[in-house]
Structures are given as structure tokens and as C-alpha cells.
Structure 1
Amino acid sequence: MNFKTITSFTLALIASTSLVAQKSNKKAQKPNIIYIMSDDHTSQAFGIYGSRLAKLNPTPTLDKIAKEGIIFDNCFVNNSICTPSRASILSGQYSQANGVLDLEGELPMERQYLPIELKKLGYQTALIGKWHLEAQPNFDYYNVLTQHGGQGSYFDPYLTETEMPYAKPDAAKQLGKQYQGHSTDVITDISINWLKNKRDKNKPFVLFHHYKAPHDNFEYAPRYKDYLENVEIPEPASLYDNKNNGSIGTRGVNDALIHDIGSSVSKRNTIRSQGMMLWDKNSVKNSDPNFDPAKKIRDDMSGRDYTHATYQEYLKRYLRCVKGVDDNVARLVAFLKKEGLYDNTIIIYTGDQGFMLGEHDYIDKRWMYEESMRMPFFVRFPEKIKAGLRTDAIINNTDFAPTIIELAGGKAPKQMQGHSFKKVLETGKEPKGWQQSTYYRYWMHMAHAHANPAHFGIRTKKYKLIFFYGKYWVDTQDPNADWNKKSWGNRFTFDTPAAWEFYDLSKDPQEMNNAYRDPAYKNIIADLKKQLVTKRKELNEEDGAKFPHIQKVIDAHWND
């Protein structure tokens, strides 16, 4: 073999070895993760979920991302209110296990298991935007909204950054640094700046990118004031006729409580309705200084005309906030593509819960009804997830943390109650033995002006069973009945009847007929009650030891 041949062979060997090494390094490289969560962005306000609003094309960017990955049709929250949902996402635990039952709940740094585990796996962690969990975030970098108890302001928001002394959000103080502009734009700017200038580029990253929008009072960026202005927004039939939805637990005996329970679009709720809030010019002055509610919603309008006008304005404000989110996600995607990060980054999108957009004449969340309980959820990662997948596998927000940890190459700690659905992501199919139901519990009985009774229940793919146990509230003989006065202690916290509701979702997806008393479902309901008992025991959700006054109500009405 001559020198020339030896040299050629050596160079070829080096090139081959280098190629193998490159492939090996590429294979060993951990994917980046961006978890995007918007506040109250419900599944009705997407194209991909096919609701009455889909034809308005409210989310073209998000729909495109979703179609390039997997879409979940049965993703649910376990407690439909901001702070408890976020606590479950970070801890992988249900509310009673992680201790965050209500809006004043606090998740200490040592129990923020998700970022802790991701750090162990070599990830640089960041959280930007809405936090709403009181205690200091356990992330390598954070920059979080601090005004209004952590809710933040839509315009010119204050945020607290890692380098600053951390103080719990205070509704009476302006903490941190003030940024100019609309919060959706500001949060995106900060995230892009962190990705470009502040992260350690030698490490994989996980970025929790949290928008305030589209939380009420739906203060959209001024550039959207004409968006949908001349469009008639489709209305849900249940806005005007709720048929046999509900029970004495939600309506009172002979509908005696319909003016108190559940904030409304119409004038039904005399304590809190969307029309009352729309009359407040200050709620939209930064979005549209020329807005005059009296031109659109007059108090002397007839009931149906008033409800129609209120609904139209409500939905347009909400969807303008959604439009801002969608456009800003487009900005984030454009940056990732420019930096060559897009295809090696797992993109997850969700809301922190669902939201009622006039269904059953309700606004806000809290309910176990579908629109409030269902979360949008989709994931894009072309290396592992085929485009165009869709699944009806049941997941809930306690499952997010175990899944993200497994995607990052780890294993969820034992204290997490959720389950990883990584196999579902990669195949679109449920593994053998996958959960066939999900548990729900709302604790804040008749809290705030929204006034929703406390309840819990179970949802399968076909059925939903709900128990409203609000009657416990006035058990003044039991010292344990003294609850969080800051969050729940107002004049709306009164006694409500205990009651059951059952819906056959295969025949009644809009939940218009409470069929609990229908003898045709007697055996199905009995089986669901057995499943509910088992699930509550597995999740340590039973009330006998901690809340005996609640258990008394459960025992007294279990067989009603």
C-alpha cells in the first residue's frame, strides 16, 4: 500500500469516525422544551377543537403547531381555578396532596418538583410571565408578574426578576421593574431576550412561558380594537335556554338561587354579570379610549337583547386577547426558526384551565362542566411525534409533570400522583392499563361574586357524575368549618343544597340534561359512585380525617 493510498484511507477513516461521533452527539443531545400556557384560554377558542367559534379562525398559528404534532381531545383540569391548577402542574399532585386548595394557596420551593427534577437532568430552567403561586419560583431564571397578588396588569406590567430580592406579590404594592406595553407583548419580548442573550447555550433549556391573557377583564392591545368588530359571534343555545342542566345544588329549590349562583352573561345573576363589568369604562380604557358601553349595552334593553349585546362585546374582547396570544406565539416561533432551535424544541401549549364563554349563561371557570374543565393541549416535536396525530386518551394536569420529566430523560418522583403519557405522545395510542377516568374537585364554596358551590366528581369518556356538597358551609358547630377568610370569607358564602348531577356525554355532549333520576342509568351511576370512592381513596381525597363536616354531608346524601 503506497503513501497516497494510506493517506486516503486514513482521511476516510477520520471522516467516518467524525460522522459517527456527530450522529452519536446528536442522538445524545437532550431536546429543549418550551411550555406555553395562557390564562383561561379555553378549547372553544381554537380552530382545532371545532367549536362554534372555529369558523372565526381565532388561532391560526396555534392550530398550525398543533397539526404538526399531537392534539389531545380529553385533557382536563382537576380544580378549575388559576392557583391550584398551576400548583398541580408543578407538583404533579392533586390539590389536597400539594396543599393548594384556593387562590391563596402557596407552593413552597421544595415542593415545586417539576423544575427541581429538570435541574437534576441537566436542564437550565426559566419561568417568564404569570406565576400566581406566592412562594419564590424554584427556577434558575424567573421574571414574573407581581401586581394584583400575582395576577399582573395587562398594561405596563411590573415583573420581578431573579436578580431582584423576591417578595410575595402584594395587591397594594408595585413590586419589581415596570415594563412598557401590553403584557402579552412584554412577556414574549422577555422570553426572546432570555433565549437569545441570557441562557447558557451549553445546556438544554426548559422555558415556562406564561401569558396573563385572556384572563378578564380582557384588556386587549389597542391594535386589535377593530378585530371582529363587524362580525356576529355565534352564540351557544344554552345561553338562552339551559333546559335540564343543573340541580338544586346549582339552581336552588324551585330555582330559588339562580340569581346568586354562577356569574352570568345575562341579567340573571344580580351580584355579578358580564354586563355589569362591561359598563366599567376603566376595564378597557387602555385598549380603546373611545369605548362607550352605553352605545352598545343599555340597561333598558329587553332581556334577550341585553344578553345578546353583552355576549357579543364579551366574546370580542376575549378573542382580541386570544389574537394577541396567537400573534405573539408566531413571533416566538419565528425566533426559534431563525436560531435553528425550532425542530429540536418540544413545544407544548395549554391553558391553565377551561373557561365558560356563555354556555349555560355562565362566565368564568370553577365548574366541572365541560367548557370549564376541559383544557386545550397539544405537543409538537417532529423527532419523536408524527404530525397529524389525535387522541381521546384521558389526561389531566397532574400528568404534565411526569410526562415532561420523562421527555427530558428522567423518571417522575414517587410523590407525584400523575402519570406520564409519553407513549401516547409518540404513538397516539393508549398503553395497556391507561386511566379511563379523571377526578375533579372545586373547593372554594361560593367564593367571590362568582359564587360556585363546592363539588367533586368523576369523568369517563362517556359519562360525568358530579356531587355538590355545599351544604357543609354553615356547620358552625364544627371548628373545621372556619375556612380561608381572605379567599372565601365574604357575604356570598352561604349554604347551598347538596345534590347529584349525571350526564351521558355520548348522547348529551352539551350537558343539557341532568339524567341522575333516569332509571335507565341506575346501574351506570352506581358503578360510577364505586369508581369515585376508589379514586378518592387512591388520591387521599377522602374527607373523614381532615374535614369531618364535609364527610357528614357526603355520608348523608351519598344515596340520594
Structure 2
Amino acid sequence: MNLKAITTFTLALIASTSLVAQKSNKKLQKPNIIYIMSDDHTSQAFGIYGSRLAKLNPTPTLDKIAKEGIIFDNCFVNNSICTPSRAAILTGQHSQANGVLDLEGVLPMDRQYLPIELKKLGYQTAMVGKWHLHDQPNFDYYNVYTQHGQQGSYFDPFLTETGMHFAQQEDPKYEGKQYKGYCSDIITDISINWLKNKRDTKKPFVLFHQFKAPHDNFEYAPRYKDYLENTEIPEPESLYDNKNNGSIATRGVNDALIHEIGSSVSKRNTIRNQGIMLWDKKSVQHSDPDFDPAKKIRDDMSDREYTHATYQEYLKRYLRCVKGVDDNVARLIAFLKKEGLYENTIIIYTGDQGFMLGEHDYIDKRWMYEESMRMPFFVRFPEKIKAGLRTDAIINNTDFAPTILELAGGKAPKQMQGHSFKKILETGKEPKGWQQSTYYRYWMHMAHAHANPAHFGIRTKKYKLIFFYGKYWVDTKDPKAEWNKKSWGNRFTFDTPAAWEFYDLTKDPQEMNNAYNDPAYKNIIADLKKQLIAKRKELNEEDGTKFPHIQKVIDAHWND
């Protein structure tokens, strides 16, 4: 063999060996994970979920990511309020198991199971943005809002970074830093800076990138003040006519409670309606200093005209906040691509719960109704997940942690109640024995001016059964009872009527007809009640020992 042939053979051998080594290293290399979560970003405000707002194209960046992976149509929150949802995600447990029932619930560092387990798997962990769990984050790096009860502010927010004394801004020992600018831009800057300059490049990373937007009061970056300004936003039919939705638990006998239960778009709720919040120049002064409410609302307007004007302003502000989220996700993705990180990074996107955008004339979340309970959820990872997958498999936010851990090469610890859906991600199909229902419970009875009655229930792919037990989760008649007045305290101190609601979601997806008393569904409802009993027992959600006064209501009305 001549020298040229030997040289050619040697180079080919080196190239072949190098290729094998690269493939071997790729197999050994763990994927990075970026978990992106917005606050109150509901599924109606996406293109991919095909709602009335889809034609406005509110989320082009997020839609593109979703279509390159798998989209979940039946992802649900187990307690539709910020702090409990975040606790469920980090613990893999429902509220009664992790102890975070309401907005004042605290998740100690030793119960933040997801980041603890990820560290054991060799991951470097980071949390940026909205935290809202009160105790210090158990992440290698964090930079989170520590202002307004950790809610943060839309403009010039205060955040606390790793190494600083972790406390609220009101604490005399507060060491946080104020950042100038708009919140969604700021946390994206912080995340990109951590990825570029602060992380250990020898380790795989998990980054929790958590937006404040589009939480109320819907303050948007000034650059979006003209976005959708001259667009007529489609309205839900139930904004003006709620038909047979609800029960005496949500409306009162002969609608006696409709002016107090459930914050509204219209003037219906006399304590908290969207007009009270929107038609105040201060509510948008940072976003648009030239905002003039007099140009949009007039004293001579009829109730319907007022509701229409309020809804249009509400949705435009909300969608401007969503626009800021979508654009900042585009910035984050552009950085990942530039740094060569995109293809080996699992991208997960969700909201911390759903949100009512005028459906049934409701705003906010808390309800077990679809728009509040449903979470947007999609995952992109080309190496394992085919583009264009979509599934109606039922998952809930307690399933996130077990799934993330399995994607990272680990297993969920025994205390987690959720289940990994990694196989669904990879195949688009439900494995044998996969859950066919999800449990929901909202604890904060008549809290704040939103005033939602406490309730629990079960949702399957076809049906939904809700029981409103309408009572505080502690006995307020007992002066020794620990009633969380900081989280719940307002003028409401009364119990509300107990009642059942049942919706056939195949025939009534908008939940406009409570068919609980329809004899055609008698057997279906009886079966759902059996499933609900079993689910509550499985999840240790029964009330007999801890909350006997609630159990009395349940027992008294179970067969109504």
C-alpha cells in the first residue's frame, strides 16, 4: 500500500472513530430542560387551541414551538390559584398532601422535591421570575420577585438573587435589587445572562423561566399600546346570557347571590367587576400615559354597551401582555439557537392555570369550569418527540414533576402523587392503564372580592361533576380556629348553598347546561360519584378527620 493510500485510510479511520465517539457522547449527554410558565396564560389565548381568539394570532412563536412537538388538549390544574398550582408542580402532590391550600401557603425548601431530585441527577438548577411560594427557592441559582407578596410588579420590579438575604421587600433586612424596565423583558434578560455567563457548562441545566404576565392588572409594555387597538375582539356568547350554567351554589336561590359571587366583566358583581379596575387612568399609566377612559366609556351607555366596551379593553390589555410573553420567548429561543443549545434542550411551555376571559361573565380563575381549569401544555424535543403530535390524554399539574424527572433520567420519589407521561410524549398514545379522570379542589371559600365558593370535583374526557360545599375549610364559628384572614379576609363571612353541577362535555363543551337533575344522566352521575369517592381516598383528600364540619356538609348533600 503506497503512502497516499495509507494516509487516506488513516484519515477515514480517524473520521469514522470520531463519528462513533460523537454518537456515543450524544447518547451519554443528558438533555437540558427549559420549563417556561406564564401566569394566567389561558388556552383561549393561543392559536393552537382553536378558540374564538385564535384568528387574532396571539402567539405565533409559541404556536411554532408547539407544532414542532406534542400538544396536550386535556391538561388540567388541580387547584386553580397561583401558589397552590406552583406547589403542586414542584412537589408532584395535590394541595392537601403538600399543605399549600391557598395564597399564603408556604413550601419549605426540604419539600421542593423536583429541584432536589434534579440536583441528584447531576443537573444545575435555576429559577427566574415569579416564585410565589414564600420560602427560599431550593435551586442552585435563583433571581425571583420579592415584592407585593412575591407577585412582583409589571414595571421596575424588585428581585432577590442567590446569595442575598431572602426576604420580602418590606423586611428591614431586605437585600433585593430593583430592575428598571418591563418585567417580561427583565426576566428574559436575566435568564439569558445566566445561560451565557453564570451556568456550569459542564453540567446539563434545568431552567424555570416564569413570567408574571399576563396576570392582572394587565399592564403591558408601552410598545404594544397600539396592538389590536382597532380590532374587534370576538366575544363569548355566555358573556351576555349564561343560560343554565351554574346552580344555587354559584347563583343563589332565585339568583340572590349573582351580585356577589364570581368577579365579572359586566356590572353584575357590584364589588369586583372589570370596569372598576379598567376605567381608572392609574391602572395603565405606565403602559400608556395618554390613556383616556372617557374616550371608551360614557355615562349614557346601556349595561350591554358598558359590558362590550369593558370586555374589549380587558381583552386588549390581556393580549398585549401575552404579546410581550410571546416576543420574549422568541428572544430566548433565538439565544438557544445562536449558542447551539436548542436541539438538545427540552422546551416545556404552560400556564400556572387557566383564566376566564369573559366566559359566563367571569374574570379571574379559581373555578372548575373549563377555561379556568384547563392549562395550555406542549413540549418540544426533536430527539425523542415527533413534530405534529397531539393528544387528548388527561394529565394534571401534579404529573409534571414525575415526567420531568424521567426525562432527566430519574424516577419520581414515592411521595409524589402524580404520574410520568414520558411515554405519551414519545408516542402520542396513552399507555395501558393511564388515568381517565382528574381531580380538582378549590379551597379558598369566598376569598377576596372574587368570591368563589369552595368546591371539588372530577373530570373525565366526556363529563364533569362538581360539588360546591360552600363552607370555610376551618370552622369560623370556633374562636380558636386558625382562619387565614390575610389570604381570605374581606367582607364575606357567610357560607353559601351546597349544590351539585354536572356537564356533558361532548354535547355541551361550553358548559351552558347544568344537567345534574336530568334523569337521563342518573346512572352516569352515580358512577362519577363512585369514581370521586375513590379518587378522594386515593389522594388522601377526604375531610372526615381534618375538616369534619366540611364532611358533615358532604354527607348531608351527597345524595341530593
TM-score, length of structure 2 as denominator length: 0.97
Larger mean Cα displacement after TM superposition, 31-40 or 168-177 = 168-177
Matches within 5 A, 1:68-467: 68-168=68-168, 170=170, 176-467=176-467
Q: Does the Cα contact within 8 Å between 1:390 and 1:428 map onto a contact in 2?
A: yes
Q: Tell me, in whole angstroms, the C-alpha distance in 1 between the residues paired with 2:406 and 2:299.
A: 55
Q: Does the Cα contact within 8 Å between 1:472 and 1:553 map onto a contact in 2?
A: no
Q: Tell me: CA distance 1:479–1:555, structure 2 relative to 1, closer, same or farther (3 Å).
A: farther
* CA RMSD, 1 decimal: 1.7
Identical-residue share of aligned pairs (%) = 89
Q: Tell me: CA distance 1:452–1:267, structure 2 relative to 1, closer, same or farther (3 Å).
A: same
Matched AA of 1:291: F
Q: Tell me: CA distance 1:499–1:482, structure 2 relative to 1, closer, same or farther (3 Å).
A: farther
Q: Tell me, in whole angstroms, the C-alpha distance in 2 between the residues paired with 1:491 and 1:173.
A: 33
SS of residue paired to 1:187: helix
SS of residue paired to 1:452: coil
| Aligned residue pair count | 560
SS of residue paired to 1:73: strand
5+ unaligned residues in a row in structure 2: which ranges? none
Q: CA deviation at 1:60?
A: 0.4
Matched AA of 1:518: D
5+ unaligned residues in a row in structure 1: which ranges? none
Q: Tell me: CA distance 1:83–1:225, structure 2 relative to 1, closer, same or farther (3 Å).
A: same
Question: Which deviations, in whole Å up to 9, do the C-alpha atoms of 1:8-54 show, x marking residues without a partner?
Answer: 65554444333222210011100110000000000000000000000
Matched AA of 2:444: M
Q: Tell me, in whole angstroms, the C-alpha distance in 1 between the residues paired with 2:460 and 2:426.
A: 23
Q: CA deviation at 1:511?
A: 0.2
Matched AA of 1:101: L
Q: Tell me: CA distance 1:429–1:171, structure 2 relative to 1, closer, same or farther (3 Å).
A: farther
Q: Tell me, in whole angstroms, the C-alpha distance in 2 between the residues paired with 1:239 and 1:272.
A: 16
Partner of 2:539: 539
Partner of 1:501: 501
Q: Tell me, in whole angstroms, the C-alpha distance in 1 between the residues paired with 2:398 and 2:299.
A: 44
SS of residue paired to 1:213: coil
Partner of 2:529: 529
Question: Which deviations, in whole Å up to 9, do the C-alpha atoms of 1:328-385 show, x marking residues without a partner?
Answer: 1111111111111111100000000000000000000000000000000000000100
Q: Tell me: CA distance 1:308–1:496, structure 2 relative to 1, closer, same or farther (3 Å).
A: same
Q: CA deviation at 1:173?
A: 9.8
Q: Tell me: CA distance 1:369–1:148, structure 2 relative to 1, closer, same or farther (3 Å).
A: same
Q: Tell me, in whole angstroms, the C-alpha distance in 1 between the residues paired with 2:82 and 2:29.
A: 34
SS of residue paired to 1:272: coil
Q: Tell me: CA distance 1:153–1:508, structure 2 relative to 1, closer, same or farther (3 Å).
A: same
Matched AA of 2:73: D
Q: Does the Cα contact within 8 Å between 1:481 and 1:549 map onto a contact in 2?
A: no
Q: Does the Cα contact within 8 Å between 2:145 and 2:152 map onto a contact in 1?
A: yes
Matched AA of 1:194: W
Q: Tell me: CA distance 1:316–1:530, structure 2 relative to 1, closer, same or farther (3 Å).
A: same
Q: CA deviation at 1:483?
A: 2.1
Question: Which deviations, in whole Å up to 9, do the C-alpha atoms of 1:365-414 show, x marking residues without a partner?
Answer: 00000000000000000010000000000000000000000000000100
Q: Tell me: CA distance 1:476–1:366, structure 2 relative to 1, closer, same or farther (3 Å).
A: closer
SS of residue paired to 2:495: coil
Q: Tell me: CA distance 1:299–1:40, structure 2 relative to 1, closer, same or farther (3 Å).
A: farther
SS of residue paired to 1:228: coil
Q: Tell me, in whole angstroms, the C-alpha distance in 2 between the residues paired with 1:172 and 1:41.
A: 34
Matched AA of 2:292: D
Q: Tell me, in whole angstroms, the C-alpha distance in 2 between the residues paired with 1:454 and 1:155.
A: 34
Question: Which deviations, in whole Å up to 9, do the C-alpha atoms of 1:405-443 show, x marking residues without a partner?
Answer: 000000010000000000000000000000000000000
Q: CA deviation at 1:495?
A: 1.3
Q: Tell me, in whole angstroms, the C-alpha distance in 2 between the residues paired with 1:192 and 1:319.
A: 24
Q: Tell me, in whole angstroms, the C-alpha distance in 1 between the residues paired with 2:150 and 2:414.
A: 30
Q: CA deviation at 1:280?
A: 2.0
Q: Tell me, in whole angstroms, the C-alpha distance in 1 between the residues paired with 2:472 and 2:321.
A: 38
Matched AA of 2:431: P
Q: Tell me, in whole angstroms, the C-alpha distance in 2 between the residues paired with 1:415 and 1:475.
A: 29
Partner of 1:56: 56
Q: CA deviation at 1:146?
A: 1.1
Q: Does the Cα contact within 8 Å between 2:109 and 2:137 map onto a contact in 1?
A: yes
SS of residue paired to 2:501: strand
Matched AA of 2:368: M
Q: Does the Cα contact within 8 Å between 1:333 and 1:342 map onto a contact in 2?
A: yes
Matched AA of 1:112: Q
Q: Tell me, in whole angstroms, the C-alpha distance in 2 between the residues paired with 1:530 and 1:232.
A: 46
Q: Tell me, in whole angstroms, the C-alpha distance in 2 between the residues paired with 1:543 and 1:70.
A: 37
SS of residue paired to 1:337: helix
Larger mean Cα displacement after TM superposition, 280-289 or 45-54 = 280-289
Q: Does the Cα contact within 8 Å between 1:353 and 1:374 map onto a contact in 2?
A: yes
Q: CA deviation at 1:169?
A: 5.7
Matched AA of 1:544: G
Q: Tell me, in whole angstroms, the C-alpha distance in 2 between the residues paired with 1:160 and 1:379.
A: 29
Q: CA deviation at 1:165?
A: 1.4
Q: Tell me, in whole angstroms, the C-alpha distance in 1 between the residues paired with 2:445 and 2:333.
A: 41
SS of residue paired to 1:277: helix
Larger mean Cα displacement after TM superposition, 278-287 or 368-377 = 278-287
Q: Tell me, in whole angstroms, the C-alpha distance in 2 between the residues paired with 1:543 and 1:550.
A: 7
Q: Does the Cα contact within 8 Å between 1:148 and 1:171 map onto a contact in 2?
A: no
Q: CA deviation at 1:2?
A: 7.8
Q: Tell me, in whole angstroms, the C-alpha distance in 2 between the residues paired with 1:33 and 1:103.
A: 28
TM-score, length of structure 1 as denominator length: 0.97
Matched AA of 1:129: G
Q: Tell me: CA distance 1:70–1:494, structure 2 relative to 1, closer, same or farther (3 Å).
A: same
Matched AA of 1:249: A
Q: Tell me, in whole angstroms, the C-alpha distance in 2 between the residues paired with 1:86 and 1:548.
A: 27
Partner of 1:37: 37
Question: Which deviations, in whole Å up to 9, do the C-alpha atoms of 1:187-218 show, x marking residues without a partner?
Answer: 11111111111111111111000000000000
SS of residue paired to 2:379: strand
